[in-house]
Amino acid sequence: GPLGAEPLRVGVLRLTSSAPVFIAVEEGYFKEEGLSVELRFMKSAQPVAVALAGRDIDVGATGLTAGLYNALAGGLDARIVADKGRVWPGYQLVGLMVSNEAWDKGLRRIQDLPGRRVGVTQIGSTFHYMLGRVLQKHGIPPSRVRVTPLGGVKNMMDAVATNRIETAFMVQPFCSVMEARKMGHRMFWVSEHLSYQIAGIFLSGSVARQKATALSFLRAYIRGCRVYYDNCLQRVDGKEIRGPAFDRVMDTISKYTGRKPDLIARGLNYNDRNGVLLAQDIGTQINWYHENGLLQKRPDPAKIVDTTLVEKALSQLGP
Amino acid sequence: MRTVVEGVSKAYDHPKGPQTQALGRVDFAIEEGEFVALVGPSGCGKSTLLNIVAGLLAPSTGRVRFHGASLNGRPRTAVVFQDLALFPWRSVEGNVRYGLEELGVARRDRRRRAREWLALVGLEGFEAHYPHQLSGGMKQRAAIARALAVDPGLLLMDEPFSALDAQTRMDMQLELSRIYEATAKSVLYITHYIPEAVFLADRVIVLTGRPGVIREKVRVDLPRPREERIKVEPRYVEYLERIWGLVRGVGGAAEGTGS
Amino acid sequence: MRTVVEGVSKAYDHPKGPQTQALGRVDFAIEEGEFVALVGPSGCGKSTLLNIVAGLLAPSTGRVRFHGASLNGRPRTAVVFQDLALFPWRSVEGNVRYGLEELGVARRDRRRRAREWLALVGLEGFEAHYPHQLSGGMKQRAAIARALAVDPGLLLMDEPFSALDAQTRMDMQLELSRIYEATAKSVLYITHYIPEAVFLADRVIVLTGRPGVIREKVRVDLPRPREERIKVEPRYVEYLERIWGLVRGVGGAAEGTGS
Amino acid sequence: MSREGTVVRDKAGFLERRKDRRLGVLTVLVVLGLWEAVGRSGWVSPFFLPPLTQVLLSGWEITRSGEVFSHLAASLWRIGSGFAVGAGLGVLLGVALGFSQKADDAIHPLVAATYPVPKIAVLPLLILWLGIGEASKVAVIGLGVFFPVAINARAGVRNVDPLLVKAALSLGSGRWGVVRKVILPASLPMIFAGLKLGVGIALLLVVTAEMIAAESGVGFLILSAADLMQTTRLLFGIMLLSGLGLFLSWLLGRVERKLIPWRG
Amino acid sequence: MSREGTVVRDKAGFLERRKDRRLGVLTVLVVLGLWEAVGRSGWVSPFFLPPLTQVLLSGWEITRSGEVFSHLAASLWRIGSGFAVGAGLGVLLGVALGFSQKADDAIHPLVAATYPVPKIAVLPLLILWLGIGEASKVAVIGLGVFFPVAINARAGVRNVDPLLVKAALSLGSGRWGVVRKVILPASLPMIFAGLKLGVGIALLLVVTAEMIAAESGVGFLILSAADLMQTTRLLFGIMLLSGLGLFLSWLLGRVERKLIPWRG
Ligand SMILES: Nc1ncnc2c1ncn2[C@@H]1O[C@H](COP(=O)(O)OP(=O)(O)OP(=O)(O)O)[C@@H](O)[C@H]1O
Ligand SMILES: Nc1ncnc2c1ncn2[C@@H]1O[C@H](COP(=O)(O)OP(=O)(O)OP(=O)(O)O)[C@@H](O)[C@H]1O
Ligand SMILES: [Mg+2]
Ligand SMILES: [Mg+2]
């Protein structure tokens, strides 16, 4: 069980979007709450859910994929409680890259996409969702674009750069890297079209029910979010304002992700300052996945989302 | 130990085509301490019969029984196979040691006994060789040493000297004779060389062509110990001629007349 | 075709321990159409020599040369191996056909010729059997048919009749003799059975014990065609005794006196 | 001892093999039954191990809709071509390495070094060379099949009795005749063991191959079900793959018995 | 024909094997040289194929920092234990199936059916049963090694000359003695081919195993390098894996030569 002397096991990916968790560990916020937290690093969203179901972890922090919703609909006992990263206007996290060849042949606008292939990591991944929503906004039926799973971001970059696929999604900083090295062209940033709760924190059912533990965890987590936001995400007139602890935060992220600080700084993703979840977006996601046949059963958002814990934690923390 | 072969026959199945009736019905006994030689034309079922007696092949009809006191610390039968069947992954000495290991002989004794038997068959100096490094006759002698080493109640030998030159063959005959007389074990001995059958055996069983049945059992009343000079005795020559006649009477080479 | 063996010797390496000097230096020739028999004690290097002549083993010293007209449509040599070396995945007929295939004989002829040779060695009815379904003597006869079928310039036979019963052996000797006389091919024939050497050969080469060197070459002046009754002629018996003496003079069975 | 004496029993009887198919069917049924029981027992979450019947039900749905057949066809094509290429080249190289010590000296270290390279890591390179379409998928499967077949063929050839090679040489075979008529048949049992391993690997790798740019196939079915955490579909996909495996190894077994008639 | 006649040449000389290590080193060097050349030529972007020297340089960095050794140690432990378990059970089952037709009838269909189940798909189940720690990783590797070893051992046993079994029986061996003293040595060449395949599979699977929740290991190195788009590190990881493969197959080769001294 997660209570008492036993550590709270947190399944997390080595990504920049997990920065609040890393900060809370490094700055000792969990300790101050009397929590001993053990990070379990996973390679993708799927094993996080598996580990949660197998009671190998108590908290998951990863992307909100169709797989997770399927697991929740299939009886995985967990609650999505907090934000862990959004696609947000003004912040450039994910872009659609076009291969040089396709670009030269005139593939430059979203309206040109029908009939072309778009590389994503996996079926039902967040990339798949973003593509679907962007197309939806432009009134293009999803069936007219060939969604092509490529397994991983490295494959996606390789495929675009070698003209093996017309387009594929890419994350920062590699969108910029590819442009700089003339390995492809960017068609758009997803955040130009979409506000999207891409990742979340979810608690196993038993932790969620042990309110005290859950609140301790969230308080520490929110403090991490605030440090991250205040030092890295502040903007004035669209210009970055770096906080005093910026370098320290970069070092922390670098320590956990293995990426060089200057690369991290080029691809900082947006997290809510208070860890608040875009609750209604969860419903939108579930609907879209369901409509597109990626969710067999529709989980009840009311049962899988719990925003009250964060609200309570916030009221305890103060502004 | 007495061995009784009762109504044994064998037919081999052949996937395409008819069965091969290898051996007709044969009945005979090998008395305790008796040396029985089996002669008969190629393909008449001698090896088949020997395998059945060794318990390595199920007869189509009949059965084989052993009677007599239990054999302490030695196996009921040991076989010198026509195809030798030496273990290619064991040295010559390792092959001879095999049966001793299975009998639970102490490690040191195994080595000593294996070397003794190898010396007896003229293979000293080749203990560490592997079978593929031996000449045909040497392989055969290694296989003989392997069977003799376990000191069985009944020794089954399938043309054991066929690959030996005349001189070595005579030496080995004398050696086998000496061992037999010293240990009084029973022997069933297949040979296609009639002088050898007469020289060694107490009784010679002559089989007909395929399917082999017993044409005649000839008791060889020659004094023991058998020595080389026996071969010039008139009685010996008489036996030779009699058995020659019986074998010839069988008819064409591989063509059995049945029975 | 004339075959010349010049200063050939062979030593085998042994990873642990000293080399085995299998064969000393030997020099001899097999004239066109000559039948040469090779006798000598077990392990004296007969098979080694035969393999060298067949081009299947490199000699340590010396060389083998062939002289004479090219052989149209037939191979220089064919071998009956002491260990037979039948292909287990081919039926008896398939084994005999092998060499004919390699010679490019037409498919229909291959079948006919294979069956003819199998009939000659008394294996009709067993064409479709696989080697493991044959008796020891039958395997040997299949191997003989396989070598004869290719009609080689020089036939190399390593104790080809050792697994045959006396009657079949005599029949096969006569058959071989007949074939030899009809086709006038050269033959190098290893046997440990001296009467057979004398009966078949134009010349008998007697080797000493290991390492084998030539003790004597004996020309056998008996009339051809050789028939069974030759065996009672006094000259035949004289040859027998002379060669017996030469072989015995070698000393102990496997112990070479060197040279 | 009794008057009856001891009757000799056939100690080597077990060497004679009489196949009994019913036993195998029985074990498979028992395993499937256990699965159903565990799935229904509630010991494990149905999210991980839904009962067999539920899996079959979800399978029936996509079978009825015909979807399954397009997946099967796509995968079979990839497996078939990959297997053919990989096994063909594997036998060729394996025999060459087994036969020629020179070739072996030169190439075997390379084979041993490249064999453990994870196929997933090679895919990007293959895509670079062969494009994102079928060719790179077939190539990945071919690569996977290639190694076990080559390694087994090499071992098989090295294991051939040299005496049989000598017999063939003495009967006039050239090197090529020896390879074709002695070495190949003699190493067939080992090559077939390699092919059986290759079939399994091909089926495994179809999942890897269809990780990239596949829009159909059993591997695609399995992967997308795994990504979507649709356990019933996932298990149905695995059952399909197993079924394919059983079918292909049965097929190989038949071919083997045809080609190796000399052992009982 | 000339007066000299035709000198007989040794047709079977190629059967004698004389190993020449230098050739293998040469080929590997040539391949590495080609890699460097292609990497420097600019034909392909260094993002896919950075030149060898660059890869070695990045390797040298993590070697100097000692990081590599912790990765190697972690992977070696997983490979070692997985291999030991899988190979041990594989030999046991393979020999049992090869020996007893009954056992084979009962179990072989199951083996053929479970073999093609993709290991990636089994991982979630293993995690559920064994937890997310080392046990599930070792189990996946063990499973992967198990199959080639079992299949080859089975084929090896079925291939044993029945005459040798008869010889052993006639010399007083029981079933167990036959297995230990005849069937095992006679099928060793085939079992070793299976073990060699197993080594390769273990190395492949360590990447799969370290796909979930690993914090060290060569597979982790490769996968995280791919995530981070660090091609040089990725390739260095693959080279490490290859090196491990070479080392382990060299080791197996030595053991094999120790255990199979009867072939030259
Ligand atoms: N492959 C080999 N490796 C090592 N030694 C060998 C090899 N083959 C034969 N020998 C040795 O060479 C010697 C001669 O062997 P070879 O087979 O030529 O004898 P042989 O005259 O044919 O004897 P036999 O009449 O018993 O068949 C023997 O001492 C044998 O141990
Ligand atoms: N495994 C088998 N399968 C089918 N037929 C067989 C098998 N073994 C032997 N035979 C047949 O049985 C008959 C007798 O064979 P067996 O080996 O007993 O003869 P043999 O008397 O020992 O002959 P030889 O003196 O030639 O060794 C032969 O016709 C042979 O073809
Ligand atoms: Mg016999
Ligand atoms: Mg010899």
Mean pLDDT of chain C: 89
Asked if residue E98 lies in contact with residue E107, where contact means CB atoms within 8 angstroms, the answer is no
The residue whose C-alpha atom lies closest to atom 27 belonging to ligand 2 is: C136
Domain-embedded: residue C114: no
Distance of alpha carbon A97 from alpha carbon A183, whole angstroms:
9
D230 burial level (CB within 10 Å; 0-12, 13-18, 19+): buried
Say if ligand 2 is within 6 A of residue B46 CB.
yes
Stated as kind and residue range, the H or E segment containing B34 is: none
Distance of alpha carbon C112 from alpha carbon B23, whole angstroms:
30
DSSP structure string for B131-182: GGGS-HHHHHHHHHHHHHHT--SEEEEESTTTTS-HHHHHHHHHHHHHHHHH
DSSP structure string for D116-169: TS-HHHHHHHHHHHH-SSHHHHHHHHHHHHHHHHHHHHHHHHHTS-HHHHHHHH
Contacts of D182 in chain C (CB under 8 A): 87
Interface test with B, best of D8, D11, D260 (most B CBs within 10 A): D8
Say if ligand 1 is within 6 A of residue C46 CB.
yes
DSSP state of C155: E
Q: Give me A9's structure tokens.
A: 């096991």
Residue D12's pLDDT band (cuts 50, 70, 90): confident
Which residue is listed with tokens 């695995």?
A: D238
Domain-embedded: residue C145: no
| CB neighbour burial string for B162-181, b if at least 16 within 10 angstroms, e if fewer | bbbbbbbbbbbbbbbbebbe
Using the Cβ of E264 and the Cβ atoms of chain B, whether some distance falls under 8 Å is answered with no
Assess whether pLDDT exceeds 70 at residue E13: yes
Residue D128's pLDDT band (cuts 50, 70, 90): confident
Distance of alpha carbon A127 from alpha carbon A125, whole angstroms:
5
Predicted pLDDT at A5: 60
Domain-embedded: residue C255: no
Which percentage of chain A shows pLDDT scores above 90? 48
Domain-embedded: residue B114: no
CA angle B88, B91, B96 (to 5 degrees): 100
Q: Per-residue pLDDT averaged across C141-152, rounded?
A: 93
Residues 6+ apart with CB under 8 A from D176: none
Asked if residue B202 lies in contact with residue B34, where contact means CB atoms within 8 angstroms, the answer is yes
Domain-embedded: residue B258: no
Predicted pLDDT at C61: 95
Assess whether pLDDT exceeds 70 at residue E1: no
Which percentage of chain C shows pLDDT scores above 90? 72
Predicted pLDDT at B16: 72
The residue whose C-alpha atom lies closest to atom 2 belonging to ligand 2 is: C133
Assess whether pLDDT exceeds 60 at residue C41: yes
Domain-embedded: residue C220: yes
By three-state DSSP, how is residue C154 classified? Answer: strand
Q: Cβ separation of C63 and E13 shorter than 8 Å?
A: no
ipTM above 0.90, yes or no: no
Distance from CA of D197 to the nearest CA of A (A): 26
Residue C99's pLDDT band (cuts 50, 70, 90): very high
Question: Among the atoms of ligand 1, which is closest to the Cα of residue C47?
Answer: 22
Closest-CA residue to E141 (of E192, E224, E223, E77): E77
Strands A239-240 and B77-80: unpaired
Predicted pLDDT at E2: 53
Chains C and B touch (3+ CB pairs under 8 A): yes
Q: Which of B73-82, C199-208, E136-145 has the lowest mean pLDDT?
A: B73-82
Q: Per-residue pLDDT averaged across A212-231, rounded?
A: 92
Residue D264's pLDDT band (cuts 50, 70, 90): very low
Of B2, B15, B65, the CB nearest to D8: B65
Say if ligand 2 is within 6 A of residue B45 CB.
yes
Distance between Cα D138 and ligand 3 center (Å): 54
C-alpha R_g of chain A: 19
Stated as kind and residue range, the H or E segment containing B58 is: none
DSSP structure string for C174-235: HHHHHHHHHH--EEEEE-S-HHHHHHH-SEEEEE-SSSB-EEEEEE----SS--GGGGGSHH
Distance between Cα B209 and ligand 3 center (Å): 13
Q: Give me A201's structure tokens.
A: 């924190």
Distance of alpha carbon C21 from alpha carbon C30, whole angstroms:
24
Q: Give me C98's structure tokens.
A: 């092998």
Q: What Cα–Cα distance (Å) separates residue A92 from each residue in A186, A188, B190, C191? A: 12, 10, 94, 93
Q: State pLDDT tens for residues B214-224.
A: 999 999 999 88
Assess whether pLDDT exceeds 60 at residue C250: no
Which residue is listed with tokens 């991980």?
A: D48
Q: Give me E116's structure tokens.
A: 């093609």
Nearest Cα residue in chain B from E185: B89
Distance of alpha carbon B232 from alpha carbon B242, whole angstroms:
16
Distance of alpha carbon D222 from alpha carbon E135, whole angstroms:
24
Cis amide prior to B211 (ω within 30 degrees):
yes
- Long-range contacts of range C90-95, CB-CB < 8 Å, 24 or more positions apart? C90/C130, C90/C131, C90/D262, C91/C127, C91/C128, C91/C129, C91/C130, C92/C118, C92/C123, C92/C126, C92/C127, C92/C128, C92/C129, C92/C130, C92/C131, C92/C134, C92/C142, C93/C118, C93/C127, C93/C128, C95/C131, C95/C142, C95/C143, C95/C146
B104 burial level (CB within 10 Å; 0-12, 13-18, 19+): exposed
Q: Cβ separation of D169 and C55 shorter than 8 Å?
A: yes
Q: Which of C46, C157, C247 to mutate to test the pocket of ligand 1 (most atoms within 8 A of CB)?
A: C46
Q: State pLDDT tens for residues B174-192.
A: 999 999 988 878 999 999 9
Assess whether pLDDT exceeds 70 at residue A1: no
CA angle B84, B86, B87 (to 5 degrees): 155
Mean pLDDT of chain E: 86
Using the Cβ of D176 and the Cβ atoms of chain E, whether some distance falls under 8 Å is answered with no
Say if ligand 2 is within 6 A of residue B9 CB.
no
Contacts of B55 in chain D (CB under 8 A): 8-12
Assess whether pLDDT exceeds 50 at residue B250: no
Q: Which of A264-278, C102-116, E111-125 has the lowest mean pLDDT?
A: E111-125
Q: Give me D20's structure tokens.
A: 């009994």
Residue D159's pLDDT band (cuts 50, 70, 90): confident
Say if ligand 2 is within 6 A of residue C133 CB.
yes
Residue type, E46: P
Residue A169's pLDDT band (cuts 50, 70, 90): very high
Q: Cβ separation of D170 and C88 shorter than 8 Å?
A: no
Which of E250 and E1 is assigned the larger pLDDT?
Answer: E250
CATH architecture of the region E55-263:
Orthogonal Bundle (1.10)
Distance from CA of B167 to the nearest CA of C (A): 6
C-alpha R_g of chain C: 18
Residue type, C1: M
Q: State pLDDT tens for residues E54-80.
A: 899 989 988 998 888 999 999 999 999
Nearest Cα residue in chain E from A157: E229
Distance from CA of C152 to the nearest CA of B (A): 24
Q: Where are the alpha helices (DSSP H) in A181-307?
A: 205-209, 211-228, 246-257, 261-266, 279-291, 301-304
Asked if residue B23 lies in contact with residue B45, where contact means CB atoms within 8 angstroms, the answer is yes
DSSP structure string for A279-303: HHHHHHHHHHHHHTTS-SS---HHH
Distance from CA of C150 to the nearest CA of D (A): 8
Contacts of E211 in chain A (CB under 8 A): 43-44, 47
Distance of alpha carbon A14 from alpha carbon E193, whole angstroms:
40
Residue A4's pLDDT band (cuts 50, 70, 90): low
Say if ligand 2 is within 6 A of residue C134 CB.
yes
Phi, psi of D133 (to 5 degrees): -85, -140
Q: Which segment, A68-82, C242-256, D5-19, D117-131, is predicted with the most confidence on average? A: A68-82
Say if ligand 1 is within 6 A of residue B125 CB.
no
Which of A203 and B1 is assigned the larger pLDDT?
Answer: A203
What total of structural domains would you count in chain B?
A: 1
Q: Which of A47-61, B38-52, C31-45 has the lowest mean pLDDT?
A: A47-61
Which residue is listed with tokens 């960095």?
A: E61
Asked if residue A263 lies in contact with residue A173, where contact means CB atoms within 8 angstroms, the answer is yes
Distance of alpha carbon A253 from alpha carbon A256, whole angstroms:
5
Residue E258's pLDDT band (cuts 50, 70, 90): confident
Domain-embedded: residue C101: no
Asked if residue A110 lies in contact with residue A140, where contact means CB atoms within 8 angstroms, the answer is yes
Chains B and A touch (3+ CB pairs under 8 A): no
Bridge partners (DSSP) listed for residue A183: none
By three-state DSSP, how is residue B2 classified? Answer: strand
Q: Cβ separation of C41 and B167 shorter than 8 Å?
A: yes
Which percentage of chain B shows pLDDT scores above 90? 71
Residue type, C59: P
Question: Among the atoms of ligand 1, which is closest to the Cα of residue C82?
Answer: 27
Q: Give me A179's structure tokens.
A: 């442009």
Distance of alpha carbon E178 from alpha carbon D38, whole angstroms:
40
By three-state DSSP, how is residue C160 classified? Answer: coil
Say if ligand 1 is within 6 A of residue C153 CB.
no
By three-state DSSP, how is residue C150 classified? Answer: coil
Distance of alpha carbon A165 from alpha carbon A107, whole angstroms:
12
Residue range of the domain that includes C169:
2-76+152-247
Distance of alpha carbon B166 from alpha carbon C112, whole angstroms:
39
Asked if residue C66 lies in contact with residue C235, where contact means CB atoms within 8 angstroms, the answer is no
Asked if residue D219 lies in contact with residue D207, where contact means CB atoms within 8 angstroms, the answer is yes
Domain boundaries, chain E: 55-263
Residue B259's pLDDT band (cuts 50, 70, 90): very low
Predicted pLDDT at E3: 63
CATH number of the domain encompassing residue C224: 3.40.50.300
Asked if residue C75 lies in contact with residue C13, where contact means CB atoms within 8 angstroms, the answer is no
Residues 6+ apart with CB under 8 A from A309: A79, A81, A82, A203, A208, A211, A214, A215, A218
Closest-CA residue to C255 (of E102, B138, D241, A146): B138
Q: Which of A142-146, A265-269, B104-108, D70-74 has the lowest mean pLDDT?
A: A265-269
Domain-embedded: residue B252: no
Q: Give me B113's structure tokens.
A: 């006994």
Phi, psi of E252 (to 5 degrees): -60, -40
Q: What Cα–Cα distance (Å) separates residue A35 from each residue in A64, A306, B111? A: 26, 21, 71
- Long-range contacts of range A28-35, CB-CB < 8 Å, 24 or more positions apart? A29/A219, A29/A220, A29/A221, A29/A223, A29/A224, A30/A216, A30/A217, A30/A220, A32/A220, A33/A216, A33/A217, A33/A219, A33/A220, A34/A216, A35/A8, A35/A213, A35/A216, A35/A217, A35/A220
